[in-house]
Structures are given as C-alpha cells and as structure tokens.
Amino acid sequence: MTTAWDTLCNTLGRAEPALCGAGGAIITLPAGLAARLAAFTQPVWLNAQTWQSVLHDLFSRNSNLAELVMEDLTAIAGRNLEEGGLVATWIGGRGFHALFAHRAIHALWQENRQELAQALKASLYTTGCDIHPAARFGRRIFLDHAVGTVIGETATIGDDVSLWHGVTLGSTLMEEGDRHPKIGPGAVIGAGAIILGNITIGRGAIVAAGSVVLHAVPPWRLVAGNPAALKTGYVHPFGMKPEQD
C-alpha cells in the first residue's frame, strides 16, 4: 500500500505539481485519501473544512480503509488497458472514485451513521452509478467506467472481481430480505449484464456483456445471452485458473 502511494505521489509531483495539493496526493496516508475524497464529494450543506474533518476522522478510526482503497487503485490501474497507470486512475478513474467513496460510505453505514452515509452517496451521482451503502465489496475490485452501474443492498462482491459499466446487481421483486446477487472471487461481469435475485455467480465465472442472469452460475464457467446460458470457450481475461482454488 505504501509503495503504491509513494509511486503515485512521486509521479504526480514530477508530472504536474499543481495537482498535488488539491488532490491530496503529496501528504501522508490516511490524510491524503480523506482530502481527495472531500474534494470531489463536497456536500452543499457542509463547509469544506468540516467535511474534510469528518472524512479524516473516519479514515483514522478505520485502520484498514486506506489499505482497501489503495488496493482498488492498484487493481484498476493494473487491469485497465488504457495508459496512465496509477495517476490516470487517481485523477480521472470514475470507477475508482465510485469504489473509493463507497468504501467510506459503507464504513459510515456500519457505524450506524446512515444519514451521513446517504449524504456522501448523494454527492457521488456525478459518477453515474448507484451503490447501496450496505452493499459489501471484497478486496482488489476492478470497476471500469461505473456509469449506469446499480448494486443493491444485500449484494456481495468477492475479492478480485471485475465489473464493467451498466451492470445491475438487483432483485427480482419477488423476494424480501437477502435478495441480491452474490458474486464470487475473481468473477468477471461484462458491460450491461443484469443479474437478478439472491443467486451466486461462482468463483472465476464470466458473465458476458449484455447477459440477463436469473440462475446461479457455476465456478469457472462462461454464460452469455438473454436468458443467460452456459457457453464453451471459457478464458479468464486476467489469467485466473481453477487450480488457483
């Protein structure tokens, strides 16, 4: 985590020093993350100093929060085919911004500070996605673009999952309580995929772009279509293999 942060700070400082202060880059963790998050989520009803203080306290109380954010940053920069690496993701990665904010939103929700969590969520509509504060994410998540992504209250996303824009993890409206999908570690969810209900997408499974999934998907399999069906030709885009279980 520290290595990625140092790389980001040094690269930003050399390339464009003007971005460092406002972006909260060339300062220590977790203060830098709190400053960055405050900068792009400033609610109109709170002054900037108060808002930054709230977020700084949150990162200070939750010792693993900065680590989770930096893991996401590294994962997105590493899996993204676009050039720019950590710096481009930090500055303009809408998916990273959405994940970054959700980490803080979820921490507030877990502290039973629902109103503040909703305030932070409302300020993030510029990312174009809607993630319920209670939705749970694992580590090293890749969320690309984020626009149009909707993730419901009881959804869980495992470690090393990759999601593209326009993904819906929703309910069927036929269930109450635990009613949203469970995405297994290393799964890949293509753009525009719709996954509905309390179903499991297995470890390493791939849901092709535009698929509509209403039933569980086995680990290490590919599904595509509307309705989604098992297909041949499985190849994990990031090199994960069943023997890694």
Q: Which residue has the higher pLDDT, 38 or 193?
A: 193
Pairing of strands 222-224, 229-231: antiparallel
What letter would DSSP give residue 180? S
In this structure, CATH architecture of domain 148-245:
3 Solenoid (2.160)
Q: pLDDT-based confidence at 123, cuts 50/70/90?
A: confident
Q: pLDDT-based confidence at 22, cuts 50/70/90?
A: very low
Equal CATH topology for 1-128 and 148-245: no
Q: What are the extents of the domains in the chain?
A: 1-128, 148-245
Q: pLDDT-based confidence at 4, cuts 50/70/90?
A: confident
pLDDT digits (tens, 9 = 90+) for 199-218: 999 999 999 999 999 999 99
1-128 classified as CATH 1.10.3130.10: yes
Annotate 182-235 with three-state secondary structure: EECCCCEECCCCEEECCCEECCCCEECCCCEECCCECCCCEEECCCCEEECCCC
Residue pair 200/182 in contact by the 8 Å Cβ criterion: yes
